[in-house]
Amino acid sequence: MPQTPRPAPVGALSPHALSLLRPLLRRIALWHRDLTADLQSATEPDDDVSDTGPTRPDVRSLPPHLRMNEPYGATPAVHGMHDRDIARAIADGRDPWAEADGTGDTNRLSDPPIEPMVAAARFAALFESAEDVAAVTRDRALTVILAPSSEDRRLMWAQMDSILGWLAELDVPGGIRWRTIDTPIPSTTERDRASRRSADGRNAVASSVRQGRKALCFLPDTGSMSEIELALCLRVFTLPPLSREICIEILRATHSATGRVAEDALRDRLPANGALAALPLPVIEGAFCETTTLAVADALADAAARMRQPAGITLADVVLNTEVQEPVDRLVADVRAWMSGELGWGEVSSSVLLFGPPGNGKTLLASALAGSIGGPLVATSYSDCQRHGHQGDMLRALSEKVEAAIRSVPSVFFLDELDSFTHRNAAHRRSDYIVGVVNGLLEHLSRLNVTPGVVVLGATNFPDMVDPAVIRPGRFDLKLEIAAPDRTALVRILRLALGDDADRLDLSPLADQLLGLSGAQVTALVRDARGLARAEGQPLQQRHLEAAARRIVPPPDTDFLWRAAIHEAGHMVVGAACGLGLPERAMLTAGGGSVEYPRPRIETRQSAQARLTTLLAGYAAEQVVFGEPSSGAGNGPHSDLARATDLARRMLFEWGMGEHLTHLPASGAIIRPGDAVDRAVQDVLGKCLEQAQGILRRNRHRLNAVAEALLTEREMPKERCHEVLEGLHPTTAKPIQPEPTREIPEPPEDAG
């Protein structure tokens, strides 16, 4: 089994890498100068040759290692210049370190061979020590170099034979260790990659091994290694991307008569490493046709700026609830630590599933995260990919986005509408299509997760609808619920939207009224208020905000709020009595309210029954206090009654908590009034409702106290829920005692 892949070098090149890279680039430059001279002599007429005079030696007859340093031997023009003169020259676009003293010549390489130079420099940058070289060049060595981008694999494979030949010429003694290294053909299509590689690639590796030769294989990830590579490979490298330092080294060979360049000025002008790596090779080749080193840097920076538009916002411009803000801040800090070389990418939790109702800023968060790490946002969605055509075209569109994210590290890859990648085992007329699409997505997620520098974000409104393999740990490590903003977040959203107007307006009462709304709705409210003010020809005032708020959320009447408070208090009191624990947050809004409990990792019979009883507690509380329930408990597919019905069905017919072990998923256990499934579910729900009613009757005083606190405060964080439910205020109240759970009744014999 090969060792763990060594991360690509970050920042400055190692001294050993430079000792290989600089002579290698000069050797390529010499090859190009000779090739250019040969082409010119072939097209120009021969000069008259005189028989008199001494014969000049043929410089071309000398070995390359004696000739390749000659074009870089001039004294730099910076010699003897004052600092102000150096600064003036750089401001004018000249590089006095690269210019020859007295002549100003840079000995610029005409039409420089950037493709082999980039490939050679990236290859040489792999070798941070003599031990790295020894591992690759020893007899019968089989080395894997990971290059996630298919364009990079094609580039390296096309240039490797020439690069190895040049290294052999420069090596002492005789270059034996760089000779007889095979470079088997790389994967060229996603289909090849999925099946491990093409037959040509497998046969080439096997042939090298049988003949006892050395081999270099360029693969997208370790999961693509064949049985032979897994058995014999002792060293796995990661191909470093094009960087500022590599560009500077290439410029020494292409645009300098001295072997020196204005390094500090170039670092200031060149785009960031991630932006450089994302540039297409023809764009880089065109930039190197500029006449000076600084002009090359400016051309690359201009191209990167046009191609890599900044996100425009950072996390400082986005309002998040505390439970989301903290892990997102840690992620940004970890990515920055990786960029500075302080942290390995394997230590970064770089994949995040964002879920929750629409309008709360999942897409905005992706853009802000990209802005905070200084990388591009590569965004796509199920529908965006699907519009390209049939399954093959859809997966090709997805692959192009993945390649763009990999080329642009550090970057954020954002995939929206994850719930469209539904369960592969669901029975419907598009089953075969979904299986192929989900399998293709899984492959791409695996590639992204092993690529250093790519942060993967997935977004869905309905996480339960996503195929479990898509969102398992390893593909999405963090799960963050982007819920409706709490009161504190609402005030911050209003302040951001109002700008300087916020200081003279009272936002706290407005935040209470807006609880439960999404961030997008709150921002729209501010726009509406400004429109009302403009229509009156007045500056924005409190009444404009209040009028706009009334149009979105009419103030509820007292009776409605009290019923909603009793309903939500019922969930809290019964949850505590059943041992469900404390809610994460309780909230009373103009449209009703909510009580949020953490999701359990697994369900037991006891925990599922506690959840069922708590789900029905709002319905029960209305019965106990008002004598009858309202429509609030069953209003919509995500209501209390809908969730309780689904939970009871899953307990009995999916989780094996009923009498029979038959597994009937949602599509197979359709509930029809009066049938066996309906009778079994009704029996469970009835028993749990009865238990909830009993708890609330025995704790009627506590139900009223919790409802009054909720009506007054409108929002309770976890700590405040604990105080109210445990009876800390008032101190004379008795705490709720956990209620013993009752057994779930078994379904009738014919319900399985």
Burial 108-122 (b: 16+ CB within 10 A, else e): bbeebbbebbbbbbb
Distance CA 152, CA 172 (A): 30
- Domain range 487-552, its CATH number among 2.40.70, 1.20.120, 3.30.450, 1.10.8: 1.10.8
Contact indicator for 681, 551 with CB cutoff of 8 Å:
no
Nearest to 511 by CA among 484, 537, 536: 484
Question: Which residues make Cβ contacts (< 8 Å) with residue 52, sequence separation at least 6?
Answer: none
Question: Which residues make Cβ contacts (< 8 Å) with residue 442, sequence separation at least 6?
Answer: 469, 470, 475
Nearest to 616 by CA among 515, 695, 558: 695
Question: Residue type at 399?
Answer: S
Residue 218's H or E segment, with its range, is strand 214-219
Question: Residue type at 701?
Answer: H
Question: Which residues make Cβ contacts (< 8 Å) with residue 593, sequence separation at least 6?
Answer: 516, 564, 565, 567, 568, 586, 587, 710
Is residue 410 reached through a cis peptide bond, with omega within 30 degrees of 0 on the bond before it?
yes
CA angle 661, 665, 671 (to 5 degrees): 100
CA angle 508, 510, 515 (to 5 degrees): 95
Distance CA 631, CA 690 (A): 19
Distance CA 150, CA 159 (A): 14
Alpha helices by DSSP H, 412-473? 431-449
Would you state the pLDDT for residue 464? 78
CB atoms within 10 A of CB 701: 10
Terminal Cα distance for the chain, rounded: 48
Contact indicator for 108, 261 with CB cutoff of 8 Å:
no
Question: Which residues make Cβ contacts (< 8 Å) with residue 317, sequence separation at least 6?
Answer: 368, 371, 496
Burial 558-594 (b: 16+ CB within 10 A, else e): eeebbbbbbbbbbbbbbbbbbebebbebbbbbbebbb
Question: Which residues make Cβ contacts (< 8 Å) with residue 155, sequence separation at least 6?
Answer: 115, 118, 119, 281
pTM assigned to the model: 0.65
Would you state the pLDDT for residue 352? 92
Nearest to 274 by CA among 373, 363, 341, 146: 373
Distance CA 95, CA 90 (A): 6
Q: Do domains 126-238 and 315-481 have the same CATH topology?
A: yes
Nearest to 118 by CA among 284, 265, 363: 284
For domain 126-238, give the CATH number. Answer: 3.40.50
For domain 315-481, give the CATH number. Answer: 3.40.50.300
Q: Which residues of the chain have pLDDT under 50?
A: 1, 6-10, 49-57, 187-198, 429, 667-668, 728-752
Distance CA 277, CA 272 (A): 9
Fold of 558-751: Methane Monooxygenase Hydroxylase; Chain G, domain 1 (1.20.58)
Distance CA 439, CA 446 (A): 11
Nearest to 319 by CA among 587, 549, 519, 527: 519
- Size of the chain in residues: 752
pLDDT, tens digit, for every residue of 49-87?
444 444 444 556 677 777 888 899 999 999 889 999 999
Distance CA 541, CA 530 (A): 9
Would you state the pLDDT for residue 652? 86
Would you state the pLDDT for residue 167? 93
Is residue 282 reached through a cis peptide bond, with omega within 30 degrees of 0 on the bond before it?
no
Domain ranges within the chain, ordered by starting residue:
1-38+61-125+240-308, 126-238, 315-481, 487-552, 558-751
Token code pair at residue 271: 């785009």
Alpha helices by DSSP H, 340-453? 362-373, 382-386, 391-407, 431-449
| Phi–psi pair at 422, nearest 5 degrees | -80, 175
pLDDT, tens digit, for every residue of 125-164?
999 999 999 999 998 889 999 888 888 888 998 999 999 9
Burial (0-12, 13-18, 19+ Cβ within 10 Å), 658: buried
Handedness of CA 658, 660, 666, 672 (dihedral sign): negative
Angle between helices 605-615 and 617-626 (to 10 degrees): 40
Q: SS3 for 6?
A: strand
Token code pair at residue 253: 């060979």
Question: Residue type at 648?
Answer: A
